[in-house]
Structure 1
C-alpha cells in the first residue's frame, strides 16, 4: 500500500504544507485503534473537503489480501534497490573499505547523509557531502581521476543513489557504495568516528559550470521537464492540481536567499523520503537551484520514480528575495494563557496541584526535560490525562513549540 506517514501528533503542523489543496481527496488509515477517525475529524475542522476513513484500517487491508510493508520511506528504498539491480551499481564491503583506508590507498569517503547524521557517527576519514551536492563537489574533493571514491550513508538507499549519480554524470573516478553503510560498518565490528565536522568546500566557477553541464545531461536523459520562473505563478494559484515547490540546495544557502514560496528540501533527502514532503499522488514537483546541479540531479531520480518534475532554468541571484528558514503555514491557534519560566518554576516547587506535561518527542524528553514533568503523546493526550495525578493547574511544554 502506498501510504504516507502523517503522525496524528503533527497533523495540524504539517497539513497546510503537505496538503496545500483543501479539496484533495484524503484517506486516513490506522491499525484499527481509532486514530484515523480522529485525524479525519481534525482535517475536516481545518477545512479539508474530501476526507474519508479507511474502514477497519490495516487489519482489513491485510485480510483482503493486500500487501503491507514494515519500514519507512518504502517507495524510495524500493527504488534504490531497483536501481542497484538494473544498473549493477558497484559496492564494497565494510572490510574492503577499511583495508583501503588502513593501507593509505588513494581513496576518499563521502558521506551523503544530512550533516547532523554525519556528525553523530561517521566512517573514519569521511567527509560530509549530502547527496545532491556530490556531482558539484566531488570533482574538487577528488581532482585526481585515479582517486577511488567511496559513497556511504546509514544503510543502502542514499549510497546507491549517490554512487549511481556520480556514474551517471560521467565522473572519471572509480566510484563504489559502502555496502550497508554505517550499519554494515558496525556489524563488521569496526569503529565509527564521532563528532566529526569535515565538510565540502565551495568550488570554482569552472568546476560549477562543468558540473551543471553534466547534471543537465543526466536530467535530460531522464525526461526532466523545464519551466521558466515567470510560468510557475499560475501553478501557485492552480486549484485543480497540487504543486510542490522545493529548494534542494543546502539549508545555509536557502536561508541566505531563496525564491518566495519554496520549501528547503535538500535534494538527497528529497529522493530518500519523497512521500514525507510530497504525500499527494500525481502532484507536480518544481525544483529551484540557480546553479542547476542540485535541482537537476534529484530531478533525474524523481522523474524515474514517475513524478511529474520540473526544473526552473532562468533563476538569477536577484530573484532570491526571501531570506531565513522555512516556516510552514499553520492554522490559527486559540487564545491561550502563557507563563514565564520563573513563575512556572515557582508553581512546580510550591504547589502540588500544579503538574507539567511535556509534549515533545520521546527522544527529546529522554535527552532532557523539566524536573518532575510528565511525558505525554499529543495524539493520545486524552488517554494520558487518565494516568496523570489530579491537578488544578496544567503547564504544557514542548521543545518544538
Structure 2
C-alpha cells in the first residue's frame, strides 16, 4: 500500500484545535522514552494487534504513525488496515521531521500527565515536605498518617515507614476514615513526584480539614536522603463509614463541578455510544476487585489514580470523549476533575449499576490470532532435551527475566530479522510468549523471514509452568536488545542515584517545556 504523509505542522495544529488524533510511536518503550512529542502514545509494532482495538476504539479516527528511521510505519499501516482502520498516515520525516520542525521532544513515559502534575504544583503551590523532615515527623509524631498513592503492587515493592496503600482515586473517599481527627497530619507519597502532588492536591481541593503534605520527590527523595525503605508491607485502606462517605461524595462532586465535569445517565450515555463521529472511552475507575465483582458492559477497568497518571496508555486518541463509572461517585468525580483540567471532554455516569452487570476481570480485545502449528509443553521439553529445537521467547524482557523456559532466547517481535543473525541455525524454531497469543501473531513474520514455518508452544509459557516444568531466571540468551520496556528510575530498589537525580531534574524542567511546546491546553482550578 502507498502510505500518505502528514506534516508535523498539521499534527500540531490538530492538537492545538482539539481535533481527534492518535499520534502513535511504533518503537519499543525504551527508545520511545528517550524522545517523543508530548501527546504521542507508545504502541509498539510488536504488540499492535494485541492492543489497537482497545486503545483506538474508533476505526476511522485519524492515526499518524512514526518511528525514528527503523522503517516500522509501512508494516504498521498494513496491519492497521487489516484491523479495520481507514485513516492512517505517516508523520513526514518521522521523529526527525518533528525535531527539524523545531517542536519540543519530551522524555520518559506518561510525560503529559507528569508535566501536568508539575504545572499543578507550580500553580497551586501544593504543600510538600522533604524526606528528612518527613522522616522526623514519622518517627516523632503519633498523630500522623502516611498514604501511599501508588498501585498496591508498587507499594509492596517498596514503601516508606507507616505507609498505608491508598491508590490515588481512593484518597478522597478513604482519607476521612484514616484520619478522622482534623488535626492529624496526612503525608501523601508515591515513587517520584506526580502521584504525590496530585494526591495531596486532591485532598486539598476536596476541602479536607487536615494538614496535608506531599512527600517531596517521593521514594526517590527518600532514597537520595540516605533513608531506609521498607519492603513487603500489606496495609491497605479500610472500608468507609456511611457518614464519611457521604461527606466525601459531596466534596468530590463540588470539585468536579468546579473543573467543568458533566454528568450523564444511562440513556444519555447510549446517545454518546451511538455517535460514531467521535471516539468514546468508557472507564470503570474503581478497584480491579470491585470491577471483577460486577461492571457495566463496555467499560474497561482503569483505576482512577493510574488513569490520571497513564492517560496516554489508556486513551491514546487525544481529543476523544471519556466517560467514567463508579457507583460510589467519589472516585469518578475526582478522576474526572483532573482529566478535565488536562483538556479532556469528560463525563461521569450517574447510577447504572442496578442491573445488567458483567462479572469477571477486564480482558483485552483483539482479533483471533492466525492459525499456527503448535507443540505441547511435554513435546517441547523432549525436543529441548535432545537439542532439536531453538526456542524464541517474545515475552516482555522483565517477564523473561522473572522466569522463562530453560534455553529460551529472548527476542522482540519487531526485531526478528536482526535476531535471526544471532540465533543458532540448523534447528526448527519454536515461538512462545506468556499466553501464546503474541507468538501466534509472530509466527507468520518469522516464516516470511526464515522461509520455514515455526511452531508455537500451545498455551505459551503459562502452559509450561502449569505443567510443572522447570523455569530459569535472568537473561542468559538475548537475540534482541532488552529495551522493549523502559526501566523507570522511580520503580524498584536498585536504581542508581545518578539516574534518580536525573529523573527529578527532568521533572523540575517540565513546566518550562510545556510553555515552549504550546500544545497542551491544560488549566488548573
Normalised by the size of structure 1, how large is the TM-score?
0.97
> Residue 331 of structure 1 corresponds to which residue in structure 2?
367
1:314 offset after TM fit, Å? 2.3
> Residue 47 of structure 1 corresponds to which residue in structure 2?
84
> Residue 262 of structure 2 corresponds to which residue in structure 1?
225
Secondary structure at the aligned position of 2:319 is classed as coil
> Residue 24 of structure 2 corresponds to which residue in structure 1?
none
Kindly tell me the number of residue pairs found equivalent between the two proteins. 399
Match of 1:394 among 404, 407, 429: 429
Secondary structure at the aligned position of 1:140 is classed as helix
**CA contact 1:250–1:266 (8 Å) conserved in 2:** yes
Secondary structure at the aligned position of 2:134 is classed as helix
For residues 149-200 of structure 1, give each alpha carbon's deviation from its aligned partner in whole angstroms, at most 9, with x where no partner exists.
Answer: 0000111111101000000101110000000001111111111001111100
Residues 1:344 and 2:380 aligned together: yes
RMSD: 1.3
1:385 offset after TM fit, Å? 2.1
**CA contact 1:353–1:390 (8 Å) conserved in 2:** no
> Residue 189 of structure 2 corresponds to which residue in structure 1?
152
1:254 offset after TM fit, Å? 0.3
1:400 offset after TM fit, Å? 4.9
Residues 1:107 and 2:130 aligned together: no
1:332 offset after TM fit, Å? 2.2
Counterpart mapping for 1:75-90 below 5 A: 75-90=112-127
Secondary structure at the aligned position of 1:28 is classed as strand
5+ long unaligned stretches in structure 1: none
Counterpart mapping for 1:190-201 below 5 A: 190-201=227-238
Secondary structure at the aligned position of 1:318 is classed as coil
**CA contact 2:295–2:353 (8 Å) conserved in 1:** no
Provide the rounded CA distance (Å) in 1 between the counterparts of 2:278 and 2:209: 42
> Residue 397 of structure 2 corresponds to which residue in structure 1?
362
Cα 1:316–1:45 change in 2 (3 A) is closer
**CA contact 1:219–1:299 (8 Å) conserved in 2:** yes
Secondary structure at the aligned position of 1:151 is classed as strand
Provide the rounded CA distance (Å) in 2 between the counterparts of 1:278 and 1:298: 14
Normalised by the size of structure 2, how large is the TM-score?
0.74
1:55 offset after TM fit, Å? 2.7
> Residue 335 of structure 2 corresponds to which residue in structure 1?
298
Provide the rounded CA distance (Å) in 1 between the counterparts of 2:90 and 2:388: 40
Provide the rounded CA distance (Å) in 1 between the counterparts of 2:434 and 2:156: 21
Provide the rounded CA distance (Å) in 2 between the counterparts of 1:367 and 1:248: 29
Secondary structure at the aligned position of 1:357 is classed as strand
**CA contact 2:285–2:304 (8 Å) conserved in 1:** yes
Counterpart mapping for 1:68-79 below 5 A: 68-79=105-116
> Residue 224 of structure 2 corresponds to which residue in structure 1?
187
Provide the rounded CA distance (Å) in 2 between the counterparts of 1:337 and 1:91: 58
Provide the rounded CA distance (Å) in 1 between the counterparts of 2:171 and 2:74: 44
> Residue 26 of structure 1 corresponds to which residue in structure 2?
63
1:204 offset after TM fit, Å? 1.6
More displaced 10-residue stretch of structure 1: 324-333 or 108-117: 324-333
> Residue 282 of structure 1 corresponds to which residue in structure 2?
319
More displaced 10-residue stretch of structure 1: 7-16 or 290-299: 7-16
> Residue 371 of structure 1 corresponds to which residue in structure 2?
406
**CA contact 2:146–2:189 (8 Å) conserved in 1:** yes
Residues 1:202 and 2:239 aligned together: yes
Secondary structure at the aligned position of 2:120 is classed as helix
